[in-house]
Amino acid sequence: MKMNGIDFMKYCLHPISLLLIILFIKLTAFQIIIFDNKSFFHILLVEFPLWALTVIILTMIFKKRTWLAIWTYYLFLSILFIVVLYYTRYFSTVPSYYDVKQIYQSNSVGGTVALLGTPFDYLFFLDVILIIPLIWYFSKEGRSLSFSNARGWAIGFSCFGLLMTIIAFRYPLIDVSYFAKKHGYIQSQIVQAFERSIGKALASNDDLSEQKIEELKGNSYVPFTEHASYGLARNRQVFTIQVESLQKFVINLKINNHEITPNLNALLKDSAYFNNVYQQIGAGNTSDAEWLMHTSLYPEGMDPTVNLIDGSEIPSLVRTLEKNGYGTATYHADDINYWNRDQLYPSLGFDYVYTNKEIPNVKEIGFGPADEVLFEYVESQLPKQLKKHNLMYSNIITLTNHTPFEMPKNYQTLKLPERFHDTYVGNYLQSVHYTDQQIGLFIEQLKQRGLYENSVILIYGDHSGLHGAPVTANDKKLLKSLLGHEYNMNDRFIVPVLFTAPGIFTGETNSQLGGQIDLMPTLLNLLGIEHESQMIGHNLFQYEKNLLGMRYYLPGGSFISDNAIYTAPSAKLSASIYNRKTMKQVKNVEGLQQKMNYTLMIMQHSDYIRMKETKN
């Protein structure tokens, strides 16, 4: 039957039609802001059908309270899109369904919401307001939301949505953001949920021996016990200090002749300092750094790795040290339930676990007790532990230097020029300076107790602190004045690593490429202890070449090699290659595809080991 002009206008002005038009506009805004996707047909054919299907289904299910159901749905979308927007601004990646589900655990997002938003963001709620007069008008006119073609529309949207989802399953999910842009946000979540439920996670059980992995990295394999550093620090006390948000550029940095980290700088004379070690965390942030340190396996990436752990025993640095006569303790003045550490710590096997339940809740800064309280608590426990154990492994995780880095005035002891006052960079430097002071006081306590000379103290940063939307244009200018160049990926991703061992090291600096995945094997080699399970990282004292993957903070498929940083295509940016030393963009790098393949092989093999160990 031919539709005339009047029928067509009536059809377009039908409440369902208006709702779908509003939904399409909302989705278009979401796609442009998050993915820089301005393709009308892509949004209409790929992104729109599944969201629209929900509207039709609601009209078919809720007969009496249809308008309330529709309004609630649009409100939910507004909240979801705001969450995705804020998350993307801070982490530079689109969150998975699991990230959104677990966002209450992320202090780093919750503490910086005020820095991430703009008034324009709340235009996402405009449609929720506009629907209210529509409800009033159509209710007054007695117009129903139901219409005769509802089932046909539902079938049509279902077919389009199913087709797009089937197409999505035909492509590998390496980077969530890029996948979501190409195949639809809902489709990306469906594929992730499917892969998570069947435990696929892109893991490969291809047999990669330690020798083969070193060959892929470009090294000639040397057995672990034949390394020159093997056993240099045998039978020493071991302390690891994982410093929240510590970036390498602050080491030896001065402002008006004032050192940012005078105590860490002083430790360098008794240390082997590695100044080219990259963070490799995934969605779990600090907890992923703990995972890397204690397993030498890659984090899961899309989901916090700790969420895949149920407390069952897994091979770890902790268990290996225990088998070699060490007592083991971990200290973190945070809620043990954050990032499922109540499952992580039993899995790793610590003898003693101290969190905010044991560490006194005094002198709070930010999310918990100040670092000075943390280190004083460690000092109080050591004598009791050393009466029971001749050797102790103490794992200390600081908390104070945490975004948004706002320190009480009486804790701001660093003298900064006026231009740094009340800036994100200035707050960061003040916060780092405070934590450095507490590390210095802790080292003095070790010296007074006679422990320092017979210890190995590994100090490293867990991840960057200066990144995302909180870093304003003014902050970038301040960073340029400090660094002498534009703030770049090296400045952001390289974390300082100090292996402090008095009498063994005398201030050498090592500039070969490394990652956090290399910390555990390097430490074990110094201690002269072999690990029973395969490690993906290697001893930084032995090997010159490396090949690193990073998930989450770089698009999936990216890699870092001795000469280059390759960033795979993301939701908004095309693939790029940088000279790693100059950070200038280049057109190509020798063996690009091969390095991409090798990186994926290594990471997939790590996933296979992780899944096998966490499921045993």
Summarize pLDDT for 558-592 with one digit per residue, the tens: 999 999 999 988 877 788 999 999 999 998 888 89
Arithmetic mean of pLDDT over the chain: 88
Among residues 198, 223, 256, the one where a domain terminates is 198
Please state the length of the chain: 616
Domain that holds residue 342: 210-615
The residues, ordered by sequence, that sit 6+ positions from 479 with a Cβ below 8 Å of its Cβ are 425, 466, 471, 487, 491
What is the separation of C-alpha 407 from the centre of its chain, rounded to a whole number of angstroms? 24
CA distances from residue 151 to 2, 39, 192 in whole angstroms, order as listed: 21, 28, 29
Mean pLDDT of 596-603: 92
Higher pLDDT, 189 or 271: 271
Q: Note the pLDDT of residue 7.
A: 47
Q: Are residues 176 and 230 in the same domain?
A: no
Q: Note the pLDDT of residue 615.
A: 67
What percentage of the chain reaches a pLDDT higher than 90? 59
**Structure tokens that stand for 604 in this block:** 């997939």
With a cut of 90, say whether residue 236 has pLDDT above it: yes
With a cut of 70, say whether residue 141 has pLDDT above it: no
Task: Tell me: is residue 59 an annotated ligand-binding position.
Answer: no
Among the listed ranges 81-85, 149-153, 420-424, 547-551, which one has the minimum average pLDDT value? 149-153
Q: Note the pLDDT of residue 562.
A: 94
What's the longest Cα–Cα distance across the chain? Answer: 95
Q: Is residue 65 in some structural domain? A: yes
Q: Are residues 347 and 222 in the same domain?
A: yes
Q: Are residues 168 and 291 in the same domain?
A: no
CA distances from residue 351 to 159, 234, 345, 570 in whole angstroms, order as listed: 55, 21, 9, 43
Q: Is residue 203 in some structural domain? A: no
User: pLDDT class for 27, splitting at 50, 70, 90?
Assistant: very high
Using CA of residue 162, residue 164, residue 167, residue 172, what is the dihedral sign? negative
Q: Note the pLDDT of residue 143.
A: 54
Task: Tell me: is residue 538 an annotated ligand-binding position.
Answer: no
Higher pLDDT, 273 or 140: 273
Model pLDDT for residues 65-87, shown as the tens digit of each residue: 888 888 999 999 999 998 888 88
Q: Note the pLDDT of residue 78.
A: 92
Distance separating alpha carbons of residues 25 and 22, to the nearest angstrom: 5
Higher pLDDT, 110 or 267: 267
With a cut of 80, say whether residue 196 has pLDDT above it: no
Q: Note the pLDDT of residue 203.
A: 47
Q: Are residues 340 and 272 in the same domain?
A: yes
Q: Is residue 205 in some structural domain? A: no
Q: Is residue 265 in some structural domain? A: yes
What percentage of the chain reaches a pLDDT higher than 70? 89
Q: Are residues 476 and 523 in the same domain?
A: yes
Q: Are residues 177 and 306 in the same domain?
A: no
Q: Are residues 271 and 403 in the same domain?
A: yes
Active site residues: 286
Q: Are residues 375 and 463 in the same domain?
A: yes
Among residues 198, 227, 242, the one where a domain terminates is 198
Helix (H) or strand (E) holding 576: strand 576-579
The Cβ-side half-sphere exposure at 232, using a 13 Å CA radius, reads: 19
Q: Note the pLDDT of residue 409.
A: 94
Q: Note the pLDDT of residue 9.
A: 46
Q: Are residues 20 and 113 in the same domain?
A: yes
Higher pLDDT, 10 or 387: 387
With a cut of 80, say whether residue 183 has pLDDT above it: yes
Among the listed ranges 170-184, 335-349, 399-413, which one has the minimum average pLDDT value? 170-184
Q: Is residue 416 in some structural domain? A: yes
Among residues 156, 172, 198, the one where a domain terminates is 198
Q: How many domains does the chain have?
A: 2
Q: Note the pLDDT of residue 97.
A: 64
Q: Is residue 20 in some structural domain? A: yes
**pTM metric for this prediction:** 0.83
Q: Are residues 239 and 125 in the same domain?
A: no
DSSP string, 7-74: HHHHHHTSHHHHHHHHHHHHHHHHHHHHH----HHHIIIIIHHHHHHHHHHHHHH-SSSHHHHHHHHH
Mean pLDDT of 257-274: 98
Strands (E) in 477-518, as ranges, are 494-500, 508-510, 514-515
Q: Are residues 439 and 514 in the same domain?
A: yes
Q: Note the pLDDT of residue 346.
A: 95
Model pLDDT for residues 489-543, shown as the tens digit of each residue: 999 999 999 999 999 999 999 999 999 999 999 999 999 999 999 999 999 999 9
**Structure tokens that stand for 23 in this block:** 């939904």
With a cut of 90, say whether residue 167 has pLDDT above it: no
Q: Note the pLDDT of residue 98.
A: 62
ω into 404 cis (within 30 of 0): yes
Higher pLDDT, 531 or 114: 531
Q: Note the pLDDT of residue 303.
A: 75
**Structure tokens that stand for 553 in this block:** 């903070």
User: pLDDT class for 606, splitting at 50, 70, 90?
Assistant: very high
With a cut of 60, say whether residue 442 has pLDDT above it: yes
CATH number, position 471: 3.40.720.10
Mean pLDDT of 595-602: 93
Q: Note the pLDDT of residue 101.
A: 56
With a cut of 80, say whether residue 4 has pLDDT above it: no
3-state secondary structure of 432: helix
Model pLDDT for residues 449-465, shown as the tens digit of each residue: 999 999 999 999 999 99
Among the listed ranges 55-69, 89-103, 257-271, 279-293, which one has the minimum average pLDDT value? 89-103
With a cut of 50, say whether residue 201 has pLDDT above it: no
Q: Note the pLDDT of residue 202.
A: 44
Q: Are residues 165 and 261 in the same domain?
A: no
Task: Tell me: is residue 463 an annotated ligand-binding position.
Answer: yes
Q: Is residue 204 in some structural domain? A: no
